[in-house]
Amino acid sequence: MSTTGHELFIAPSILSADFTRLAEEIQMIEDAGADWVHVDVMDGHFVPNLTIGPPVVKALKRVVRKPLDVHLMVEDPDRTAEWYVDAGADMVTVHVEASAHIGRTVEAIRRGGASPGVTLNPGTPASEVREVLPLVDLVLVMSVNPGFGGQAFIETSVAKVAEIRAMCREMGVEPRLEVDGGIDCTTAPLVVSAGADTLVAGNAIFGAEDPAAALRQIRRCAAAGLV
Catalytic residues: 40, 180
Q: Considering the rule CB under 6 A, would residue 201 count as an interface residue with ligand DX5?
A: yes
Residue (43 or 180) nearer to Zn ion, CB: 180
Contacts of 29 (CB under 8 A, 6+ apart): 12, 37, 205, 211, 212, 215
Measured in whole angstroms, the distance separating CA 20 from the mean position of its chain's CA atoms is 23
Q: Single out the segment in contact with Zn ion by CB under 5 A; choices: 97-105, 122-130, 179-187, 203-211.
A: 179-187
Query: Can residue 43 be called a binding residue for Zn ion (CB under 5 A)?
Result: no
Check residue 118 for interaction with ligand DX5 (CB under 6 A). Answer: no
Contact with ligand DX5 (CB under 6 A): which of 53, 128, 147, 208? 147
CA distance 1 to 191: 14
Examine residue 40 and tell whether it contacts Zn ion (CB under 5 A). yes
Q: Are 161 and 194 in contact (CB under 8 A)?
A: yes
68-to-24, 102, 147, 155, 203 alpha-carbon distances in Å: 16, 21, 19, 27, 18
List all residues 6 or more positions away from 2 whose beta carbon is below 8 Å from its beta carbon: 8, 192, 195, 196, 197, 226
Binding segment for Zn ion (CB under 5 A), chosen from 36-44, 58-66, 75-83, 84-92, is 36-44
- Binding partner of 67, given ligand DX5, Zn ion, none, CB within 5-8 angstroms per partner class: none
DSSP assignment letter at 127: G
117 binds, among Zn ion, ligand DX5, none (CB under 5 to 8 A by kind): none
User: In degrees rounded to 5, what are phi and psi of residue 119?
Assistant: -135, 160
* Stretch 60-119 residues interacting with Zn ion (CB under 5 A): 71
Q: How far apart are CA 54 and CA 60, in angstroms?
A: 10
- Give the burial string for 11-21 (b: 16+ CB within 10 Å, else e): bbbbbbbeeee
Asked if 102 and 130 count as a contact pair (C-beta separation under 8 A), the reply is no
| Residue 225 interacts with ligand DX5 (CB under 6 A): yes or no | no
x-or-dash string of contact with ligand DX5, 52-91, rule CB under 6 A? -------------------x--------------------
Residue 108 per-residue DSSP state: H
* Of positions 4, 28, 29, 40, contacts ligand DX5 by CB under 6 A: 40
Our finding on whether 180 is near Zn ion (CB under 5 A) is: yes
Q: Which is nearer to ligand DX5, 2 or 187 (CB)?
A: 187
Regarding 198 and contact with ligand DX5 (CB under 6 A), the answer is no
* Residues binding Zn ion (CB under 5 A): 40, 71, 180
* Residues binding ligand DX5 (CB under 6 A): 13, 15-16, 38, 40, 71, 144, 146-151, 180-183, 200-204
